[in-house]
């Protein structure tokens, strides 16, 4: 299986890093500059040592767009244009019309920022925030060197769901029952919508439970759907 994380508010980032290291599990982190519970944003200088430590542990990195920009619609025209809405940054919540170059710049900005911190080249992959895309958006991203990665329907770990309705115990049980070989798993490094954090309480047991069922963990660099793309795009 392929464990991936979006950044979230970084509230559990130190614990997640420690759990992965203790269990010798490598993951792929999709970076964006989100508001955090402490520090100056997830891609701010405060968190630089955390990113550097994850690179030293052997993890991989990709982009979630710098301001977690959500695709809203394609616009008509010969040249690709899109209605986009940043979730973070000075223009969060406002909608804009962007061309392909503007969107690609958002993908590259997050990737380059992580590379600056880690000294490690990011994978030529990205994840559209919320998984919202269109064929034209994906084609535009591919044209500037980035292939899109979503997640498996059974791989959504649920750590952004409200804990009042979805307990860690219930989410863990569901994951252990439903996750299948080859799944791309999605967690976050802290969510304000969840009063009782999913990680670290459920992450360790999930890893141990999946290992007990015979699963191993790999990064997206080793995913058969992306190996060729990564090799041909310089990472």
Higher confidence at residue 207 or residue 160? 207
CB 159 within 8 A of CB 199: yes
Interatomic CA distance for residues 202 and 167, integer angstroms: 10
Interatomic CA distance for residues 82 and 70, integer angstroms: 10
pLDDT in tens, 29-62: 999 999 999 999 999 999 999 999 999 999 999 9
pLDDT in tens, 116-164: 999 999 999 999 999 999 999 999 999 999 999 999 999 999 988 899 9
pLDDT of 235 strictly over 80: no
- Tell me how many helices (H) and strands (E) the chain has: 7, 9
**Cβ-based neighbours of 1, under 8 Å, separated by 6 or more:** 155, 179, 181, 182, 183, 184, 185, 210, 215, 216, 217, 218
Model pLDDT, residue 51: 98
Closest of 119, 126, 201, 217 to residue 158, by C-alpha: 201
């Amino acid at each position: 299986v392929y464990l991936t994380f979006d950044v979230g508010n970084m509230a559990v980032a130190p614990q997640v890093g420690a759990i992965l290291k203790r269990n010798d599990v490598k993951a792929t982190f999709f970076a964006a500059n989100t508001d955090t519970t402490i520090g100056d944003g997830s891609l701010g200088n405060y968190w630089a040592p955390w990113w550097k430590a994850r690179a030293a542990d052997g993890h991989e990195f990709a982009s979630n767009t710098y301001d977690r920009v959500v695709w809203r619609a394609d616009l008509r025209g010969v040249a690709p244009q899109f209605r986009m809405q940043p979730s973070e940054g000075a223009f969060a919540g406002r909608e804009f019309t962007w061309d392909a170059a503007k969107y690609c710049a958002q993908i590259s900005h997050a990737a380059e920022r992580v590379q600056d911190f880690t000294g490690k080249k990011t994978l030529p992959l990205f994840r559209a925030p919320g998984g919202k895309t269109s064929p034209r958006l994906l084609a535009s991203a591919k044209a500037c060197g980035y292939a899109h990665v979503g997640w498996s329907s059974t791989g959504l770990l649920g750590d952004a769901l409200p804990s009042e309705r979805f307990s860690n115990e219930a989410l863990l049980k569901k994951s252990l029952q439903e996750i299948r070989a080859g799944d791309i798993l999605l967690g976050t490094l802290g969510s304000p919508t969840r009063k009782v954090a999913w990680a670290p309480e459920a992450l360790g047991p999930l890893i141990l439970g999946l290992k007990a069922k015979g699963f191993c963990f790999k990064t997206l660099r080793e995913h058969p759907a992306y190996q060729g793309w990564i090799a041909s795009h310089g990472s």
